[in-house]
Amino acid sequence: MLKWLIITFIVLSGLMVILLGLGYLLAENEKSSTLLKNQLALEAQLQQEKLQQKRNLSEYTKIITTDDAKATPKQTNANIMALFEDTLINNLTCVTIAQCKLVTIKFKNIDCQLASNVIGVSQLKTIATQKVSLDSCPMANQLSELACQQNICTLISANK
Protein backbone atom coordinates (compact mmCIF):
# COMPACT_ATOMS: atom_id res chain seq x y z
CA MET A 1 0.00 0.00 0.00
CA LEU A 2 2.85 2.34 0.86
CA LYS A 3 4.43 1.48 -2.47
CA TRP A 4 1.29 2.65 -4.38
CA LEU A 5 1.10 5.78 -2.28
CA ILE A 6 4.71 6.67 -3.12
CA ILE A 7 4.15 5.97 -6.83
CA THR A 8 1.00 8.14 -6.79
CA PHE A 9 2.87 10.93 -5.00
CA ILE A 10 5.73 10.81 -7.53
CA VAL A 11 3.32 10.81 -10.47
CA LEU A 12 1.31 13.71 -8.97
CA SER A 13 4.55 15.60 -8.26
CA GLY A 14 5.64 15.07 -11.87
CA LEU A 15 2.27 16.33 -13.13
CA MET A 16 2.52 19.39 -10.86
CA VAL A 17 6.01 20.16 -12.20
CA ILE A 18 4.72 19.81 -15.78
CA LEU A 19 1.70 22.04 -15.02
CA LEU A 20 3.89 24.65 -13.33
CA GLY A 21 6.24 24.61 -16.31
CA LEU A 22 3.36 25.02 -18.73
CA GLY A 23 1.98 27.89 -16.63
CA TYR A 24 5.37 29.60 -16.67
CA LEU A 25 5.63 29.19 -20.46
CA LEU A 26 2.09 30.54 -20.87
CA ALA A 27 2.88 33.61 -18.75
CA GLU A 28 6.09 34.31 -20.70
CA ASN A 29 4.24 33.87 -23.99
CA GLU A 30 1.55 36.31 -22.85
CA LYS A 31 4.18 38.92 -21.92
CA SER A 32 5.97 38.60 -25.24
CA SER A 33 2.75 38.61 -27.26
CA THR A 34 1.52 41.72 -25.40
CA LEU A 35 4.82 43.44 -26.16
CA LEU A 36 4.61 42.40 -29.81
CA LYS A 37 0.99 43.52 -30.03
CA ASN A 38 1.93 46.95 -28.65
CA GLN A 39 4.78 47.23 -31.16
CA LEU A 40 2.47 46.32 -34.04
CA ALA A 41 -0.12 48.85 -32.87
CA LEU A 42 2.56 51.54 -32.68
CA GLU A 43 3.85 50.66 -36.15
CA ALA A 44 0.32 50.70 -37.56
CA GLN A 45 -0.30 54.10 -35.99
CA LEU A 46 2.97 55.45 -37.42
CA GLN A 47 2.09 54.00 -40.82
CA GLN A 48 -1.34 55.62 -40.68
CA GLU A 49 0.19 58.98 -39.72
CA LYS A 50 2.65 58.71 -42.62
CA LEU A 51 -0.21 57.90 -44.99
CA GLN A 52 -2.22 60.86 -43.68
CA GLN A 53 0.81 63.13 -44.14
CA LYS A 54 1.26 61.87 -47.69
CA ARG A 55 -2.43 62.56 -48.42
CA ASN A 56 -2.17 66.03 -46.95
CA LEU A 57 0.99 66.68 -48.93
CA SER A 58 -0.54 65.43 -52.18
CA GLU A 59 -3.65 67.56 -51.59
CA TYR A 60 -1.42 70.52 -50.79
CA THR A 61 0.61 70.06 -53.97
CA LYS A 62 -2.60 69.53 -55.94
CA ILE A 63 -3.97 72.80 -54.55
CA ILE A 64 -0.71 74.57 -55.37
CA THR A 65 -0.65 73.23 -58.92
CA THR A 66 -4.34 74.07 -59.34
CA ASP A 67 -3.69 77.58 -58.06
CA ASP A 68 -0.67 77.86 -60.37
CA ALA A 69 -2.80 76.65 -63.26
CA LYS A 70 -5.46 79.21 -62.44
CA ALA A 71 -2.86 81.97 -62.20
CA THR A 72 -1.52 81.43 -65.69
CA PRO A 73 -3.24 83.88 -68.02
CA LYS A 74 -2.94 81.74 -71.19
CA GLN A 75 -5.14 78.77 -70.42
CA THR A 76 -6.64 76.88 -73.29
CA ASN A 77 -10.30 76.04 -73.38
CA ALA A 78 -9.43 72.35 -73.08
CA ASN A 79 -7.40 72.98 -69.92
CA ILE A 80 -10.20 75.04 -68.39
CA MET A 81 -12.77 72.37 -69.21
CA ALA A 82 -10.52 69.59 -67.88
CA LEU A 83 -10.02 71.51 -64.64
CA PHE A 84 -13.76 72.18 -64.44
CA GLU A 85 -14.65 68.53 -65.03
CA ASP A 86 -12.07 67.24 -62.53
CA THR A 87 -13.22 69.69 -59.88
CA LEU A 88 -16.87 68.80 -60.42
CA ILE A 89 -16.28 65.04 -60.42
CA ASN A 90 -14.04 65.16 -57.33
CA ASN A 91 -16.60 67.18 -55.36
CA LEU A 92 -19.83 65.26 -55.78
CA THR A 93 -19.60 63.20 -52.60
CA CYS A 94 -21.97 63.84 -49.71
CA VAL A 95 -23.30 62.20 -46.58
CA THR A 96 -26.36 64.39 -46.04
CA ILE A 97 -28.29 66.75 -48.26
CA ALA A 98 -26.98 69.65 -46.16
CA GLN A 99 -23.60 69.15 -47.85
CA CYS A 100 -25.09 69.58 -51.33
CA LYS A 101 -25.47 72.99 -52.93
CA LEU A 102 -26.84 74.26 -56.23
CA VAL A 103 -24.24 76.19 -58.22
CA THR A 104 -24.79 78.17 -61.40
CA ILE A 105 -21.78 78.05 -63.68
CA LYS A 106 -21.64 80.78 -66.32
CA PHE A 107 -20.13 79.79 -69.64
CA LYS A 108 -19.66 82.09 -72.63
CA ASN A 109 -22.96 81.13 -74.24
CA ILE A 110 -24.97 79.31 -71.53
CA ASP A 111 -25.54 79.12 -67.78
CA CYS A 112 -25.62 75.66 -66.21
CA GLN A 113 -27.12 74.72 -62.86
CA LEU A 114 -25.26 71.83 -61.29
CA ALA A 115 -25.18 70.04 -57.93
CA SER A 116 -21.95 69.88 -55.98
CA ASN A 117 -20.83 69.69 -52.39
CA VAL A 118 -19.87 72.84 -50.48
CA ILE A 119 -16.15 72.50 -51.24
CA GLY A 120 -16.86 72.01 -54.93
CA VAL A 121 -19.04 75.12 -55.10
CA SER A 122 -16.23 77.31 -53.80
CA GLN A 123 -13.68 75.70 -56.15
CA LEU A 124 -15.96 75.84 -59.20
CA LYS A 125 -16.57 79.57 -58.72
CA THR A 126 -12.83 80.25 -59.08
CA ILE A 127 -12.52 78.56 -62.48
CA ALA A 128 -12.70 80.98 -65.40
CA THR A 129 -15.45 79.23 -67.35
CA GLN A 130 -16.82 82.51 -68.75
CA LYS A 131 -14.26 82.25 -71.58
CA VAL A 132 -15.38 78.79 -72.70
CA SER A 133 -18.34 77.96 -74.93
CA LEU A 134 -20.39 74.90 -74.06
CA ASP A 135 -22.72 73.07 -76.42
CA SER A 136 -25.28 72.05 -73.80
CA CYS A 137 -25.65 71.32 -70.14
CA PRO A 138 -28.02 69.10 -68.13
CA MET A 139 -31.56 70.41 -68.08
CA ALA A 140 -32.60 71.65 -64.67
CA ASN A 141 -35.95 73.29 -64.25
CA GLN A 142 -37.25 75.29 -61.32
CA LEU A 143 -38.86 72.17 -59.86
CA SER A 144 -35.53 70.36 -59.64
CA GLU A 145 -34.41 69.59 -56.11
CA LEU A 146 -31.07 68.77 -54.58
CA ALA A 147 -30.59 65.24 -53.30
CA CYS A 148 -27.84 63.16 -51.79
CA GLN A 149 -28.40 59.80 -53.45
CA GLN A 150 -25.91 56.99 -52.87
CA ASN A 151 -23.51 59.57 -51.36
CA ILE A 152 -23.52 61.71 -54.53
CA CYS A 153 -25.00 65.19 -54.85
CA THR A 154 -27.57 65.22 -57.64
CA LEU A 155 -30.43 67.28 -59.04
CA ILE A 156 -33.67 65.34 -59.31
CA SER A 157 -36.96 66.31 -60.89
CA ALA A 158 -39.63 67.02 -58.32
CA ASN A 159 -42.79 65.51 -59.76
CA LYS A 160 -45.45 66.55 -57.29
Number of domains into which the chain is organized: 2
The tens-digit pLDDT sequence of the chain (160 residues) is 889 999 999 999 999 999 999 999 999 999 999 999 999 999 998 888 878 777 776 665 555 555 554 544 567 888 888 888 889 888 889 999 999 998 888 888 888 888 899 998 999 888 888 888 877 777 767 778 888 988 898 888 766 5
DSSP-derived secondary structure letter, 17: H
Rounded CA gap, 14 and 5, in Å? 14
Shared domain check, 111 and 39: no
pTM passes above 0.75 = no
Domain-terminating residue out of 42, 71, 100: 71
Give the orientation angle of helix 77-90 with respect to helix 118-125, to 10 degrees.
170
Whether 123 and 109 share a structural domain: yes
Clarify whether residues 3 and 59 are in a common domain: yes
Strand partners, 152: 93, 149
Beta pairing, strands 152-157 & 144-149: antiparallel
Query: Which domain-ending residue is among 71, 98, 124?
Result: 71
